[in-house]
Amino acid sequence: MSEAKLNLSGLWHGRYFYPNARPPVPFVATMSDIDSWLTGTIEEKGTTGEARGVAMSASIQGRRTGHAVTWLKLYDGRFRLYDSVRYEGEINEDATEISGRWSIPGNWSGTFLMIRPSAAARPATVQTAERA
């Protein structure tokens, strides 16, 4: 896929993995990719402290450069153990997967994987938005 046609807008399903024996955390991301600037939201369930099992929301802001992505995930501030997380990853050739690492500076890091259907399988409204 050429970089001109590369667009990450749409719905993504993913998991992030801790560096220890904790189970992976599933999440759903809704992303907008406009001129390689990434914005959106991530929905997941909290895994620790007072947020354990609670539906949580975070915003994302970042950038796509070729097949590389970086973004900052900012939680909504309701829970003190959840602040910001940095993500860095690579997009596969047909823009259906993003994989990479997340990190909380000075604390810890792990890996993540996000998947979406191929362009041919996505709804026409998403494909239309990508052409805008």
Residue 1: predicted pLDDT: 56
- Answer yes or no: is 3 within a domain: no
- Answer yes or no: is 20 within a domain: yes
Does the model's pTM come out above 0.95? no
- The whole-chain average pLDDT of the chain stands at 88
Which domain CATH number covers 30? Answer: 2.40.128.120
End-to-end CA distance of the chain: 17
- Answer yes or no: is 4 within a domain: no
As for how many domains the chain has, the answer is: 1
Cα dihedral 115, 118, 123, 124 in deg (nearest 10) = 140
**pLDDT, tens digit (0-9, with 9 covering 90-100), for 38-89:** 999 999 999 988 999 999 999 999 999 999 999 999 998 888 878 899 999 9
- Answer yes or no: is 5 within a domain: no
- Answer yes or no: is 1 within a domain: no
Range of the structural domain that residue 103 is part of: 10-131
